[in-house]
Structure 1
Amino acid sequence: MKRRRPTLIAALTLTATAALTLSACGSDGDSAAKDSDKIAGADTGDKPSASPSPSSSATSAAGRPKVELPADLKLTFEGTKTGDPVKDAVLADNAERMRAVDAAIAGTDPDAKALGFYNTGKALEAAVSWVGQFEKANATVTGQVRYFDREVELRDETSAVLTFCADESKGFSKDKKTGKVAKTPVTKNSYVQYNTRLDKNAEGVWQTSQIISTRGSAKCQPQ
């Protein structure tokens, strides 16, 4: 049976970058081919653009899509409780956003419902493009990724800035056909810093609207 292409991804135009190296789990927003902290459409100065609305099935039951990951992929999020319920909500929805990207890549969310639920604007464009690049390479993700130093700054009642680091030293890409894991040596580029903006929508979901990532950031290197 032919694998169904996620409907959300099929609805948007994907621009593939030449000679892309797929080495990270969920690092949409940074260029794996270059040590650059810029991605197309991720500058923080622009107002987030409109994004596809979640389908009725994505917002049924508790109002949130269930995000599941394959057994060989584990994401760990540190610092989930700050004592501030609003900041905790931002952190929780960001964690689901990162999980949603990997679920779309791994195929455990074949319709990419969670991807459109937890992303909007330029962050959605970046996430869809990132997932599309894995699809073109017929690759998925495996291993472990740890997210740490997660710091939230509330701008107002409906917007926040979240910065955090990712330890991808144990996260790898895997060929879907052969199952071969592309293990790479641990270098400074195994650590990524994310700078994101989240906006609270009418349903109370903190959606990531803008994202910039810096691979090899000095702020995220192990001490």
Structure 2
Amino acid sequence: MTSTSNRSNFAFGTLVRSGAAVALLAAAAVGCGSSPKSPASDISGAQSGAPSTSASPSPSASAAQPAGAPVVTLPADLTVDVAFPASGDQAKDAVAQGMTYALRAYNAAFAAGDGQAPAFQYAWDGMARPYMANIIQQLASRGQTITGATRYYAPTITVQDATHAAFTYCEDQSKGYPKDRATGKVLPSTPSIKDYTEWNTGLELSAKGVWRVTQAVGEKGSQRCQNA
């Protein structure tokens, strides 16, 4: 079995576009930027064999940690690069912080194989939570975790009202790979357009003032995101 199928299965997740979801998120449907692909050899462990399974986890960046939110802890061999620069618009930047935290929380839960992780439960709600939890479970059931790097970039934020926002961004998984939990063996593959996904998400502000992801619709194999 080729590692290409491993990569397609380990993706952040892609919902089939439905009329209802697209209608809610249409305001955020825009193009993404561009960044060249990096070779698979850049992944830690891809050339030098299985990485150590005893690497200690590292805490998330404090800038992505909302006040009062559960701490996100990522494995030492997993990098989650969220490139959502400050816009100067207070409302949009608050949404971006919530999305940044949600992406890091998801990746930490994905790596741990734990859909009940406090940070994941805190940041994801609505239809998005059970869908993403199912993806986490699928990887865990194969005895795998993730390693390398995932990058999120080219954000466009539309604050629709005081409690609803639409957020479009790109995801680059060309440097991310599944890894066997038992052996630590990395399952590398050749980068392709399938590593690039354009995401439209919906966020809602909770009664406690927390921006949570409630909807997620992705288009895998995005030419725009690959060329950004």
**What is the TM-score normalised by the length of structure 1?**
0.75
User: In structure 2, what is the equivalent of residue 213 of structure 1?
Assistant: 218
User: In structure 2, what is the equivalent of residue 7 of structure 1?
Assistant: none
Report Cα offsets for 1:137-159 as digits up to 9, x if no partner: 11111101111101100110100
* Cα 1:85/1:208, change in 2 over 3 Å: same
The alpha-carbon deviation at position 45 of structure 1 amounts to 5.1
* Cα 1:210/1:111, change in 2 over 3 Å: closer
User: In structure 2, what is the equivalent of residue 178 of structure 1?
Assistant: 183
The alpha-carbon deviation at position 24 of structure 1 amounts to 6.2
* 1:94 lines up with 2:99 in the alignment: yes
Relative to its length, the structure with more helix (as a share) is 2
Report Cα offsets for 1:6-53 as digits up to 9, x if no partner: xxxxxxxxxxxxxx94426974431xxxxxx5179x93558xxxxxxx
Residue type at the aligned position of 1:81: A
User: In structure 1, what is the equivalent of residue 54 of structure 2?
Assistant: none
Q: Distance in 2 between matches of 1:169 and 1:184?
A: 9
User: In structure 1, what is the equivalent of residue 196 of structure 2?
Assistant: 191
Q: Distance in 1 between matches of 2:153 and 2:118?
A: 26
Residue type at the aligned position of 1:160: A
Q: 2:70 aligns with which of 51, 65, 85?
A: 65
The unaligned stretches of length 5 or more in structure 1 are: 1-19, 31-36, 47-60
The alpha-carbon deviation at position 75 of structure 1 amounts to 0.9
User: In structure 1, what is the equivalent of residue 53 of structure 2?
Assistant: none
Q: 2:127 aligns with which of 110, 122, 145?
A: 122
* Cα 1:22/1:125, change in 2 over 3 Å: farther
* Cα 1:121/1:172, change in 2 over 3 Å: same
* 1:149 lines up with 2:154 in the alignment: yes
* 1:38 lines up with 2:43 in the alignment: no
Q: Distance in 2 between matches of 1:66 and 1:158?
A: 24
Q: Helix, strand or coil for the counterpart of 2:7?
A: coil
Q: 1:104 aligns with which of 109, 118, 123?
A: 109
User: In structure 2, what is the equivalent of residue 23 of structure 1?
Assistant: 7
Could you say which structure has the greater relative contact order, defined with CA pairs below 8 angstroms and 6 or more residues apart?
2
The unaligned stretches of length 5 or more in structure 2 are: 25-65
Q: Helix, strand or coil for the counterpart of 1:183?
A: coil
Residue type at the aligned position of 2:227: P
Q: Please tell me the root mean square deviation across aligned C-alpha atoms, in Å.
A: 2.7
Q: Helix, strand or coil for the counterpart of 1:121?
A: coil
User: In structure 1, what is the equivalent of residue 85 of structure 2?
Assistant: 80
Question: May I ask how many residue pairs the two structures share in their alignment?
Answer: 184
